Structure formats: C-alpha cells, structure tokens
Amino acid sequence: TNVPPPHSTIRPGSPVPVNTNNPGVRKAARLGVYRYNNSSNDLFLFKESQIRKAMVQIVRGLKYMLHVEIKRTMCEKRDHSSLDSCHFQREKNLQRMLRCYFEVWITPWTHKVHIPLVHC
C-alpha cells in the first residue's frame, strides 16, 4: 500500500486514498462481492464492474473502504463458477447494476479477512 511520507499531514491510523487499480484494493473488492453473493437471493452471481473510490486505513491490518459498482453475470450461483470466467449479463431484461460500499479488513500475517459492512 502507499504509506504517506513522514512529513505528510495525514495522521497515523487515518484512512488514505489508494489507487483503485492497487492489487490489494482489487482483492478486497472481490472479497466484498463474494460476501454479497453469499447473502443475496439472486439466481446469478454478481461481479465488480468498477471500483469508483478506495481508501485504506492501517489498523491491526488493512481496512479497505470501497465504493464499487457490481453487475449481474451470466453465471448461475448453483454452478459455483469462478468469477474470473463469468461474463456480465447480455440480456437487457436480466442486466442489473448495484452501487455498493464494502468495508474489508485484511490481516495479512494471520491470513484473516473480516467484512463488517456490505451495503448495496
């Protein structure tokens, strides 16, 4: 992650903006989508289409705060497909886009992930 220089005005522990193409951000967004898919009653899986804004806070790990657009894919949940191979829905009447806010807390040294908030 991008750690601000020591002379920065950002206080330790404060959330800082991070590039939406950052690999950690992309991983956190996918984890948020998995959590959304596990709790939704939709027949199809959703997948992130655009990460609109990302912040990270260093607090006993990395807490990502993400604004993400997710779209319905053509993969049905019961097939348990890998999201990487799922394409977005092409049929107009089945297309759906949601704007979501995810908080994803990753503790790399314990390999633990906690997703306290998924709001779509």
Residue 59: pLDDT over 90: no
Residue 2 has pLDDT above 80, yes or no: no
Closest CA to 67 of 83, 86, 48: 48
Can you give the pTM of this predicted structure? 0.87
Give tens-digit pLDDT for 80-110: 778 999 999 999 999 999 999 999 999 989 9
Average pLDDT rounded to a whole number, residues 1-20: 69
Distances (CA, A) of 79 to 29, 43, 74, 75, 83: 21, 10, 11, 7, 11
Residue 81 domain-assigned? yes
Report DSSP letters for 43-79, one per residue: SEEEEEEEEEEEEEEESSSEEEEEEEEEEEEEEEGGG
Count how many domains the chain has: 1
Question: Residue 90's domain spans which residues?
Answer: 16-119
Tokens of residue 22, six digits: 């950052």
pLDDT tens string 66-83: 999 999 999 999 887 789
The reply to whether 53 falls in a domain is: yes
Give me the pLDDT at residue 9, please.
52
pLDDT at 67: 98
Q: What is the CATH number of the domain that holds 22?
A: 3.10.450.10
